[in-house]
Chain A
Amino acid sequence: MNYQRIKEKLDILADAAKYDVSCSSSGSKRTNTKKGLGDSTSMGICHSYTEDGRCISLLKILLTNYCIFDCAYCVTRKSNDIKRAAFKIQEVVDLTINFYRRNYIEGLFLSSGIFKSPDYTMERLIAVAKKLRTQENFNGYIHLKSIPGASDELMHEAGLYADRLSVNIEVPTISGLKLLAPDKKHEDFTKPMRKVKQELLRYASERKRIKSTPKYAPAGQSTQMIIGATGESDKDIMFSATHYYQQYHMKRVYYSGYVPVAEDKRLPSMGSQVPLLRENRLYQTDWLLRFYGFKVTEIVNDRHPNLDMEIDPKLSWALRNMEYFPVDVNTADKRMLARIPGVGMGSVSKIIGARRFRKLNWEHLKKIGIALNRAQYFIVCDSRHWQRANLDSLTIKGKILQNSRSKFRTQHSNQLTLFN
């Protein structure tokens, strides 16, 4: 190993990859076969955390940061005056294996600038994954970036070695894309996504008939959108996200507050604050749609195109829909329990487990771990005491804000635990 050379490349190519926020390593079901190395059956482990509090579970690097394109929002774009470097395929394989064996990482997340052509680049990414799987017998997690514009054949091959594939849509609206990434067409992004979706469906149905059907991208596909670069509304973002979840069977959509990387008059200026709080609210909304049974139009719509930054979106929805409340925690169904502000899915199942034995009162609810500072205005339980007693939603909001700690006001709340 040429240590100096590798270190230099790693510095450049990890730095360029850090703006991709996805670091998930869960959702795959690759077991260790024949005493090989690694598995990705667990929930996905964060082996460390960045100093901005994000999970580090994968070695996240670019194969190269040479790029023939010039997307305004990207550090790697060709007009940016930065140091360039490129890994050899074997170098990425060695780094991955050696980091993995020391329990630093769950696997590899490999992306790349586009050099020569999309297909040429995609082929190199696949070559790394193939080597890891076939030569190193590596069963850890592999996330490959689908290069916009890559051919269907390559996207098929990529899924045979990767656990997850992703294309970052980056700009939530088509008009924004025209403005910021004039070399790329919307179809360049959607084509590989569509191919991956079709293959996922095809393999799933084949597996129903033939058990031994090989795996195809078992952790599915994901995408990322940049937030706050083009003046889009929260409604634009969440409608887009819903579209990708539905049309392309995305496992995850990530939202990444735009970090200015160069002066460009089409974009927020250098040093503008990263919209971390907004990012957090979008994640909370995403959660509500995926796990809490909300429809997107319940949270954002023409009347409410933007999320309330002061309070979480579930609370915000509840305050607009007071007719559904109070909910009786001792009788309500699961769906309604999940809609109570301050009650997470964990608490929902605890309530259901506990109320078989006795009627629950405030004391029980508190011990179970419900955030009563929010929930109290929306529930009745085994007590004559009802907190809301004819308060209107504005008053309730005021009371909650008064009693909540600074977490609703600080900027640094992007990774606050969601709803609990």
Chain B
Amino acid sequence: MMNKKTLIYDGSFNGFLTAVFNAFDEKISVADIQKNGRVQNGLFSDSETIFTNVAKAKRVWSGVRTKSCNAINTIYFAFLSETDGVEFMCYRYIQKLMATKERKHADFSDETVLYLSQLARKVSREKHRMEAFVRFQLTKDKVYFANVEPDFDVLPLISKHFRNRYADQRWLIYDIRRKYGIFYNLEGVELVSLDLHEIHHNRTGKSTAFTQREYQYQDLWSSYFKSTHITSRINRKLHVQHVPKRYWKYLPEKKEAV
């Protein structure tokens, strides 16, 4: 019997796809696929380090696409959830997809398919939340700046949305937890990392990085927010369900509540 192998990749999505390519190509019997740095060796399996290869990754990508475009999204979104063991589940999913003639991605009675599609939905929900809850603050050097702390690694997913929408202003969205940001410089979007001395959310009070005018607009927005309630209809539970508390510290309209 062939020994099971753990494949170790660099943490990038292309790296993961390369691992999948190698597994198919060399008919490796896969024990697990793990990010380097996070490796937990299985007692009875060998490991092999994968070198990211974009050409190989692309081949897996287009292979999946010929099966289904939905499946591509599902895999990418689920991958970005950073859930433990998600790589192996994605690998199993791709295996199943390739082994079936058609529409396997819609087989919600299959455990793997259901699991990944639910995971992908969670990530997609977080993506939408970020598109909604990013709050830009205009800095003195005219950059619209927002810091965020999403549950999943969604910056790659929201970049296009913000680029299309705010094409005529420079903006920067910074993920505090993952320590990188996306910066739009009026031409394109680049990845940046920052030495962020203060985190600009509600508790820090006023920062010198922003103009007086900026705070006035935040106040106008909060007072607008307040005047939208109809007292006889108040329903806090529903409110918190829609705007979970963990996001409040970045929302100017929730300044007082925080």
Give A residues with C-beta under 8 Å from B.
1, 3, 6-7, 10-11, 14-15, 18-19, 31-32, 35-39, 41-42, 45-56, 59-60, 95, 98-99, 101-104, 137, 257, 259, 271, 273-274, 276, 349-350, 353-358, 360, 364, 367-368, 412, 414-415
Give, as a whole number of angstroms, the nearest-CB distance from B185 to chain A: 13
Within 8 Å by CB of A259, from B213, B233, B241, lies B233
| 7 nearest A-B pairs in the assembled complex, by CB-CB distance | A353-B106, A53-B238, A52-B233, A49-B242, A354-B109, A14-B227, A364-B109
Within 8 Å by CB of B132, from A46, A51, A354, lies A46
Given A14-B224, A36-B168, A53-B242: A354 in contact with B108 (beta carbons within 8 A): yes
Given A48-B253, A52-B239, A368-B108: A11 in contact with B167 (beta carbons within 8 A): no
Say if the beta carbon of B23 comes within 8 Å of chain A: no
* Chain B interface size, under 10 / 10 to 19 / 20 to 34 / 35 or more: 35 or more
Within 8 Å by CB of A60, from B106, B107, B131, B228, lies B228
Say if the beta carbon of B236 comes within 8 Å of chain A: yes
Within 8 Å by CB of B224, from A1, A10, A42, lies A10
Say if the beta carbon of B223 comes within 8 Å of chain A: yes
Give, as a whole number of angstroms, the nearest-CB distance from B103 to chain A: 6
Within 8 Å by CB of A102, from B168, B217, B224, B237, lies B217
User: Cα distance A45–B234 when bound, in Å?
Assistant: 22
Question: B223 — which chain A residues lie within 8 A by C-beta?
Answer: 7, 10-11
- Contacts beyond the supplied A42-B131, A48-B225, A350-B108: 7 A-B pairs with Cβ under 8 Å: A10-B227, A50-B239, A59-B224, A99-B221, A257-B233, A356-B106, A414-B235
User: Cα distance A100–B67 when bound, in Å?
Assistant: 40
Q: Determine, out of B28-36, B47-55, B133-141, the stretch whose residues face the partner at the interface.
A: B133-141
Give, as a whole number of angstroms, the nearest-CB distance from A354 to chain B: 4
Interface positions of B from 226 to 258, Cβ below 8 Å from A = 227-230, 232-239, 241-243, 251, 253
What number of residue pairs across chains A and B have CB atoms under 8 A from each other? Answer: 162
Question: B106 — which chain A residues lie within 8 A by C-beta?
Answer: 349-350, 353-354, 356
Give B residues with C-beta under 8 Å from A.
103-104, 106-110, 114, 128, 131-138, 144, 146, 161, 164-169, 186, 213, 216-217, 219-221, 223-225, 227-230, 232-239, 241-243, 251, 253
Question: A102 — which chain B residues lie within 8 A by C-beta?
Answer: 135-138, 144, 217, 221
Give, as a whole number of angstroms, the nearest-CB distance from A251 to chain B: 22
User: Cα distance A353–B71 when bound, in Å?
Assistant: 13
